[in-house]
């Protein structure tokens, strides 16, 4: 594959153990797997070979890769690899402890300062993953006496954070501000109210009405937490996300994000007011009780932030190409819901239909994953096209053509 100079040493692979029967105490799992298989919901364990760029090598085949969140093409960029090795050489590979103890290295400190600068906020806190950032922060902000209003299409890490908090939870229909208003009115008796939402929704590529959410937060004296996981690096003049793009920073209290998507590294972050971040260091259990991510990873993420600042053309190109691609699919009559960014679902309904379409695309040389329940509601299975700056316009044109041929 072009641009893939080295492979991991597989000369002495561990022999795959043979699969034996389940121990009696776990025998019930067999039935669960049979049920998943029958419903078309069994997942393959795929092994990717080599570094991914606009292409990916899966099951021995090189495919155009529409199945990663590498929106700006930094995940396989050698500049991040070099920053990671330099960071690892300086500070060792493992962090050795939670940030609360001795795991917070200079590389993490520099990363937090870089994030705060990029987002234009006072402070940021880095977590081992975006998942950990959401669960820990939501559970810190709300407890049993509180109320959380959550968009029905929020990411699993937001949902799990809500559950972990033990707060009363109200789910509002996707982006429905009137329903949210009504929900918050019923929660006047709660000690505190918290609104939680993705900014760019990960499964359908729609964008949250941030200005309206901020207005409702003000009206109901609620906190507003937004998850910029898919927007960081892509939107806004500086590339900090949709809060910047929509000029809603004053109304958004907490910004969560991940370093693992457009930034091409790993880890999550929470950003906002410095006193809030200081308090979070005493309350966010996934930060307090989990080993900090490796310093080399933090160094790579810092390098990616610098690249986002230096290479604004990547996000501009991506946004333009995404608009062109979605227009082509709509014109071809495909159901892509309300997609309005670089995540484009092609909705087919049944899990088997999504798997079949993904297989047809695989045969045509494209990796486009099938997304099925529980990632999407029953009846809403889809194949999800994730665009990257690395894709050639001709790849996008060909994919649109192939989708139109197979999915209509
Ligand atoms: C909206 C959203 N939030 C959070 C996460 C979790 O981020 P991470 O992969 O860094 O754990 C994801 C990842 O898939 C996501 O899509």
Residue 258 Cβ < 6 Å to ligand 1: yes
Q: How far is CA 57 from CA 16, 257, 365, in A?
A: 21, 28, 11
List active site positions: 202, 230, 261
118 closest CA partner among 293, 292, 303, 266:
303
* Ligand 1 centroid – CA 205 distance (Å): 14
Could you tell me where the beta strands, DSSP code E, fall in 202-334? 223-227, 254-258, 268-272
What's the pLDDT at 375? Answer: 87
The Cα angle at residue 345 between residues 255 and 257, in degrees rounded to 5: 15
**C-beta of 287 in contact with ligand 1 (< 6 A):** no
- Going by alpha carbons, the residue nearest to atom 10 of ligand 1 is 130
Averaged pLDDT, 99-125: 98
Pairing of strands 268-272, 123-127: antiparallel
pLDDT score, position 14: 64
Quote the pLDDT of residue 338. Answer: 96
Instruction: Specify the pLDDT at position 71.
Output: 98
Q: Is residue 131 in contact with ligand 1, taking CB distance under 6 Å?
A: yes
Q: Report residue 171: phi and psi, to 5°.
A: -100, 125
DSSP per-residue string spanning 95-155: --S-IIIII--HHHHHHHHHHHHHHTSSEEEEES-HHHHHHHHHHHH--TT-EEEEETT--
- Residue 198 Cβ contacting ligand 1 at under 6 Å: yes
CA of 218 to the centre of ligand 1 (A): 27
- Site to substitute for ligand 1 among 131, 242, 267, 343, most atoms within 8 A of C-beta: 131
Strand partners of residue 48: 58
What is the pLDDT confidence band of residue 88, given thresholds at 50, 70 and 90?
very high
CB atoms within 10 A of CB 372: 24
Structural domains in the chain, sorted by start: 44-72+312-407 (3.90.1150.10), 78-310 (3.40.640.10)
Q: What per-residue confidence (pLDDT) applies to 314?
A: 98
Sign, Cα dihedral of 385, 200, 342, 348: positive
Mean pLDDT, residues 337-365 taken together: 96
Dist CA 256 CA 268 (whole Å): 7
> Computed from CA positions of residues 43, 64, 232, 5, in that sequence, does the dihedral angle turn out positive or negative?
positive
Measured from the CB, is residue 257 less than 6 Å from ligand 1? no
Going by pLDDT thresholds of 50, 70 and 90, the confidence category of residue 1 is: very low
Q: 202 in ligand 1 pocket by Cβ < 6 Å?
A: yes
Question: Which of 70, 202, 267 for a ligand 1 pocket mutation test, highest count of atoms within 8 Å of Cβ?
Answer: 202
Q: What distance in Å separates the CA atoms of residue 56 and residue 46, rounded to the nearest whole number?
A: 12
**Closest atom of ligand 1 to CA, residue 198:** 1
How high is the pLDDT of residue 3?
43
Please state, in angstroms and rounded to a whole number, the distance separating the CA atoms of residues 206 and 382. 15
Mean pLDDT of the chain: 94
| Peptide linkage before 374 cis (omega within 30 of 0) | yes
- Counting from 1 in the atom list of ligand 1, the atom nearest the Cα of 201 is 1
Atom of ligand 1 nearest to the CA of 260: 10
Cα of 187 vs centre of ligand 1, distance in Å, is: 28
Judge if the beta carbon of residue 197 lies within 6 A of ligand 1. Answer: no
Whether the pLDDT of residue 308 is over 60: the answer is yes
Over residues 221-238, the pLDDT tens digits come to 999 999 999 999 999 999
């Amino acid at each position: 594959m072009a641009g893939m100079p080295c492979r991991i040493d597989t000369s002495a692979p561990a022999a795959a153990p043979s699969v034996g029967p389940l121990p009696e105490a776990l025998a019930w799992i067999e039935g669960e797997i049979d049920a998943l298989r029958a419903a078309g919901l069994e997942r393959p364990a795929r092994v990717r070979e080599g570094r991914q760029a606009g292409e990916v090598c899966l099951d021995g085949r090189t495919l155009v890769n529409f199945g990663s969140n590498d929106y700006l093409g930094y995940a396989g960029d050698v500049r991040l690899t070099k920053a990671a090795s330099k960071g690892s050489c300086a500070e060792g590979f493992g962090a050795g402890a939670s940030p609360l103890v001795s795991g917070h290295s200079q590389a993490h400190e520099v990363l937090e300062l870089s994030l705060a600068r990029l987002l234009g906020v006072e402070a940021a806190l880095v977590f081992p993953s975006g998942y950990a950032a959401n669960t820990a922060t939501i559970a810190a902000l709300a407890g049993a006496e509180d109320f959380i209003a959550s968009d029905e299409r929020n990411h699993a890490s937001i949902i799990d954070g809500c559950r972990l908090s033990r707060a009363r939870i109200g789910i509002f229909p996707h982006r429905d501000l009137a329903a949210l208003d009504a929900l918050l009115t019923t929660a006047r008796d709660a000690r505190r109210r918290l609104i939680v939402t993705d900014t760019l929704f990960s499964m359908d590529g729609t964008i949250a009405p941030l200005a309206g959410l901020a207005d409702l937060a003000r009206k109901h004296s609620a906190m507003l937490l937004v998850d910029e996981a898919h927007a960081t690096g892509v939107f806004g003049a500086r590339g900090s996300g949709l809060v910047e793009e929509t000029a809603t920073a004053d109304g958004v209290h907490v910004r969560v994000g991940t370093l693992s998507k457009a930034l091409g590294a790993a880890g999550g972050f929470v950003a906002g007011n410095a006193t809030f971040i200081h308090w979070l260091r005493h309350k966010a259990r996934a930060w307090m009780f989990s080993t900090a991510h490796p310093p080399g990873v933090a160094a790579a993420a810092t390098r990616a932030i610098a690249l986002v600042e230096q290479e604004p053309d990547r996000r501009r190109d991506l946004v333009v190409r995404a608009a062109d691609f979605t227009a082509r699919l709509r014109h071809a009559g495909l159901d892509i819901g309300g997609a309005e960014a670089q995540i484009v679902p092609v909705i087919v309904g049944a899990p088997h239909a999504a798997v079949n379409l993904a297989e047809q695309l695989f045969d045509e040389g494209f990796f486009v994953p099938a997304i099925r329940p529980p990632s999407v509601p029953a009846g809403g299975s889809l194949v999800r096209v994730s665009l990257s700056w690395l894709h050639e316009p001709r790849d996008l044109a060909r994919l649109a053509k192939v989708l139109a041929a197979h999915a209509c």
